[in-house]
């Protein structure tokens, strides 16, 4: 176990925006094949809409207006899947996205505009079209690459879905043959992919299902090589629960913080959650939380790992693997606003899944991957968008919200109040998730000069630290001790 833990400094100041490349934006400068789905048509498992990386370049001003300063891309490499988790070539950006030239143009433009760029690494499995696996399909048991995978018999059954694949495959899916990560050649191949793209200028990796490469030595060497190229490279794993094994400073910097998402939904959404689809995803069933339960969850989140890890966690309200948060909360905009405010005021880097800031709806995959409705601004929830912009700006302007310590000041019924402190700066954050006005008294000493950071009409805390919160509201006071 590592005794000295460091995570990238820039991540602690980052607000991420997650882009599913086929669905975010399209540019006329990237040639398109004819057989694309209409942009506003319901998404399907296999259909492509033609989003590309130059389209992202053309929307950088929008992202800047939102206040985000980092982008996490779902997979970009050549693939026959619209989500591109079926990798054909780890060194070739998908031609539908504009290929390598478009990627490097996007990377240069993003960096010039102050954005960091993190890309998705799918290293547990490849695809049937990956060269070495295709070699097995063609040459059979005599292929020199036979030990890159786990074949159980011959010939390989790669396409008859009425019978199980006779090789190891992710979740038994024929299309996703699992790498033999114990093979030194495979290990070198994957490590070289990781370092190559860092050398090209990407700022980090989001790792898909990394727990399925059940080998700490693999990930320790992965980290060593990545940090050797760029000590500030961000390594974040898709880990849905407890992640101590990987978050001890010698493997990953952080996890995708789905535990935060579950707790926040359980408190702010409460009983008004549509869980018909959540139970079919990694979220599972979301338990309703009262103030005490939510305060305990937040405290655990801030104390569970080393502070360096806590400040680098990727805090989610949704992703490509969950139903849209708008749909989970039954379209309740007050819940969405409270969720975003909470996301921007706890430790860890917030991650906004594209379209969540305008209330884009959607059930589970593929419905959670709808195209961004650029040509239908009438469908945008503009009040929510305005709130998100204010909350992001608040986070950027208040160092205590990014790097401060955490302490619960009050938790009763549906009201939670917590404090973030960094040096002499203090931020007090109060939420009333209930439907009734609630008075509370903070018994700890607070600075006398706390002022509302979001709404000037909200008064100072009284000298006796007593205040009344309106129903379904959130308040942030900032001052100096």
Lowest average pLDDT, out of 70-74, 240-244, 465-469, goes to 465-469
pLDDT in tens, 241-294: 999 999 999 999 999 999 999 999 999 999 999 999 999 999 999 999 999 999
Pairing assessment for the beta strands 70-73 and 16-19 based on DSSP bridges = parallel
Domain span at residue 185?
9-124+181-397
DSSP string, 164-181: --SB-BGGG-TT-BBP-T
Give me the half-sphere count of Cα atoms (radius 13 Å) on the Cβ side of residue 462: 9
Mean pLDDT of 102-107: 98
Q: Do residue 224 and residue 348 come from a single domain?
A: yes
Active site annotation includes 203: no
Q: Is residue 161 part of a domain?
A: no
Q: Are 33 and 359 in contact (CB under 8 A)?
A: no
Structure tokens at 349: 């880097």
Q: How many CA atoms lie within 13 A of 328 on its CB side?
A: 32
- 293 plus 429 within the same structural domain: no
- Position 148 in a domain: no
Query: Catalytic annotation on 208?
Result: yes
- Catalytic choice (238, 308, 321, 425): 238
Whether 111 shows a pLDDT value over 90: the answer reads: yes
Element (H, E) at 441: strand 438-441
Domain stop point among 397, 416, 434 = 397
Same domain, residue pair 242 and 361: yes
The answer to whether the CB of 118 falls within 8 A of the CB of 72 is: yes
Q: Are residues 415 and 392 in the same domain?
A: no
Alpha carbon distance 342, 99 (integer Å): 38
386 and 448 in a single domain? The answer is: no
DSSP structure string for 14-52? --EEEE-HHHH---TTS---S----TTSPP-SS------
Cβ atoms within 10 Å, residue 265: 26
Encode pLDDT of 34-68 as tens digits: 999 999 999 999 999 999 999 999 999 999 999 99
What DSSP designation does 146 have? G
142 part of a folded domain: no
Q: Is residue 207 a part of any domain in this protein?
A: yes
Q: Do 433 and 388 share a domain, yes or no? A: no
What percentage of the chain's residues is helix, strand, coil (to nearest 5)? Answer: 35, 20, 45
414 and 460 part of one domain: yes
The residues near 147 (Cβ < 8 Å, ≥ 6 apart) are: 180, 183
Question: Does the pLDDT at position 189 exceed 80?
Answer: yes
pLDDT at position 268, please? 98
Averaged confidence pLDDT in the chain: 96
At 213 the pLDDT is 98
What total number of domains does the chain contain?
2
**Active-site annotation holder among 22, 120, 203, 208:** 208
Is a pLDDT exceeding 50 seen at residue 221? yes
Domain edge (last residue) among 332, 367, 397: 397
Mean per-residue pLDDT for 365-375? 98
DSSP string, 106-140: HHHHHHHTT-EEEEEE--SB--TTSHHHHHHHHHG
Does residue 392 share a domain with residue 437? no
Radius of gyration of the chain (CA): 23
Domain boundary among 397, 413, 430: 397
Q: Are residues 47 and 70 in the same domain?
A: yes
Q: Is 90 exceeded by the pLDDT of residue 473?
A: yes
Give the per-residue pLDDT at 387.
98
Q: Is the same domain home to 259 and 348?
A: yes
Any domain includes 471:
yes
- Between 466 and 298, the higher pLDDT residue: 298
Residue 155: asked if its preceding bond is cis (omega within 30°), the reply is yes
> Where do runs of H (alpha helix) occur along 346-375?
none
Assess whether 314 and 447 both reside in one domain. Answer: no
CATH number (domain holding residue 409): 2.60.40.1180
75-89, 417-431, 433-447, 462-476: lowest mean pLDDT where? Answer: 462-476
Q: Are residues 338 and 470 in the same domain?
A: no
């Amino acid at each position: 176990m590592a005794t000295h833990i460091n995570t990238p400094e820039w991540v602690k100041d980052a607000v991420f925006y997650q882009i599913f490349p086929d669905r975010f934006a399209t540019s006329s400068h990237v040639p398109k094949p004819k057989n694309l789905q209409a942009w506003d048509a319901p998404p399907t498992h296999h259909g492509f809409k033609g989003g590309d990386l130059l389209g992202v370049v053309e929307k950088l001003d929008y992202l800047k207006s939102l206040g985000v300063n980092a982008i996490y891309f779902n997979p970009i490499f050549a693939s026959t899947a619209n989500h591109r988790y079926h990798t054909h070539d780890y060194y070739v950006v998908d031609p539908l996205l504009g290929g390598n030239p478009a990627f490097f143009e996007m990377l240069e433009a993003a960096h010039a505009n102050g954005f960091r760029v993190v890309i998705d690494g799918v290293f547990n499995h490849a695809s049937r079209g990956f060269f070495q696996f295709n070699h097995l399909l063609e040459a059979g048991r005599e292929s020199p690459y036979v030990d890159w995978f786990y074949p159980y018999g011959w010939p390989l059954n790669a396409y008859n879905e009425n019978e199980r694949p006779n090789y190891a495959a992710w979740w038994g899916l024929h299309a996703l043959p699992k790498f033999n990560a114990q093979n030194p050649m495979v290990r070198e191949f994957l490590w070289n992919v990781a370092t190559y793209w860092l050398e090209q200028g990407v700022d980090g990796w989001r790792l898909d299902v990394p727990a399925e490469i059940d080998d700490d030595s693999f990930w320790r060497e992965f980290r060593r090589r990545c940090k050797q190229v760029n000590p500030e490279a961000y390594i974040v794993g898709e880990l849905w629960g407890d992640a101590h094994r990987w978050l001890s400073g010698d493997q990953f910097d952080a996890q995708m913080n789905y535990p935060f998402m579950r707790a926040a939904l359980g408190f702010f959404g409460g009983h008004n959650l549509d869980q018909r689809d959540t139970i079919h995803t990694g979220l599972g069933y979301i338990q309703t939380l009262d103030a005490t339960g939510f305060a305990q969850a937040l405290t655990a989140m801030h104390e569970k790992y080393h502070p360096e890890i806590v400040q680098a966690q990727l805090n989610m309200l949704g992703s490509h693997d969950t139903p849209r948060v708008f749909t989970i909360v039954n379209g309740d905009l007050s819940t969405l606003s409270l969720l975003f405010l909470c996301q921007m005021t706890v430790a860890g880097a917030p991650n906004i899944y594209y379209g969540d800031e305008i209330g884009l709806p959607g059930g589970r995959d593929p419905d959670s991957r709808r195209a961004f409705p650029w040509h239908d601004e009438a469908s945008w929830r503009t009040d929510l968008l305005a709130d998100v912009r204010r909350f992001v700006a608040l986070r950027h302007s208040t160092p205590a919200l990014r790097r401060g310590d955490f302490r619960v000041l009050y938790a009763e019924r549906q009201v939670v109040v917590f404090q973030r402190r960094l040096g002499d700066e203090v931020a007090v954050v109060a939420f009333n998730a209930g439907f009734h006005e609630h008075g509370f008294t903070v018994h700890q000493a607070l600075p006398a000069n706390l002022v509302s950071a979001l709404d000037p009409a909200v008064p100072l805390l009284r000298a006796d630290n007593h205040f009344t919160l309106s129903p379904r509201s959130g308040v942030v006071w900032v001052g100096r001790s």
